[in-house]
Amino acid sequence: MQPIPPTSVFQDIAALSLYAFYAFFLGLVLWLHREGKREGYPLISDREGRDLRAPIEGFPATPDPKTYILPHGHGAVSAPGPRAERDMNGILVAYDPFPGASQVPLVDPMQAGVGAASYALRADTPDLTWDEADPKIVPLRAAPGWTVAEEDPEIRGRPVFGLDRKVAGTVVDLWVDKSDVLLRYVEVEVAGSGKRVLIPLGLVRWSGEGPVICDTATCAQIAAAPTTAHPERVTLREEDRISGYFGGGELYALPGDSESFV
């Protein structure tokens, strides 16, 4: 009997190692894909008048529920688990009668919060700082020790104009993110009503000592913008709603913005 050459043994070990890596990597990809289905699954069919024989999950199926403990003693959530869904009846209709067709809004999309102005039903509680567990995003009037840097422009007290170049109101305060040390919102008091709305800072502009201009909403749309339930706090759900409203104005503020150039 002849001995096995060492090179043959090494080749077998290398091949087995490669096959083991392939198996491990395949299992890892499947596991990650399965874990990615903890939110948003099973999918909801847009087929009207038909009962689904089985939930739309794909392969691999959704994982078993896992419980996640929330910080600051705010309980726990399970995923996948029950989730709040928005009722889209009477708001959207399919452009064509086939599954997967584009949905067309039947009402003002900015007010309805659909399409580019969509928002999710996140927790209706404020985001909190990690150490103090205080509301993270607050107006400067409710943030002792926080001020606008001397080298930065002071825009409080300036008028706010909409896309139509009409005065929508006046900047009364700025909202700061105490965790990221950034200004997040401009608080505007609507002219003639006293209503106060928040506009994301990235969607307004100003030059020198000039007025503040919102490029994604008209005067009337700023006046009709969603508000916060508390004058000095904004919840996660309200943040999504406000950002969706003004961000969606890029397409919906003016009638021709959502149409093609040709």
pLDDT tens figures, 44-54: 766 655 555 55
Do 241 and 119 form a contact (C-beta atoms < 8 A)? yes
Nearest-5° Cα angle at 90, 203 to 101: 75
Burial of 178 (0-12, 13-18, 19+ CB in 10 A): middle
Rounded CA-CA distance 69/62 in Å is 20
**Can you identify the CATH homologous superfamily of domain 123-252?**
Photosynthetic Reaction Center, subunit H, domain 2 (3.90.50.10)
The tokens describing 254, both together, are: 């003016």
Beta bridge mates, 137: 177
The tokens describing 240, both together, are: 């999504």
pLDDT in tens, 90-131: 888 888 777 777 888 888 899 999 888 999 888 888 999 888
Return per-residue pLDDT of the chain as tens, 262 residues: 556 566 666 778 888 999 999 999 999 999 999 999 988 887 776 665 555 555 677 888 888 899 988 887 778 888 888 777 788 778 888 887 777 778 888 888 999 998 889 998 888 889 998 888 899 999 999 999 899 888 888 999 999 999 999 999 999 999 999 999 999 999 999 998 889 999 999 999 998 889 999 999 999 999 999 999 999 999 999 999 999 999 999 988 888 777 666 5
Query: What pTM value is reported for the model?
Result: 0.80
The tokens describing 197, both together, are: 């709305």
The answer for residues whose C-beta is within 8 angstroms of residue 173's C-beta and 6 or more apart is 139, 140, 141, 156, 187
The tokens describing 79, both together, are: 């995923």
Domain positions in the chain: 69-115, 123-252
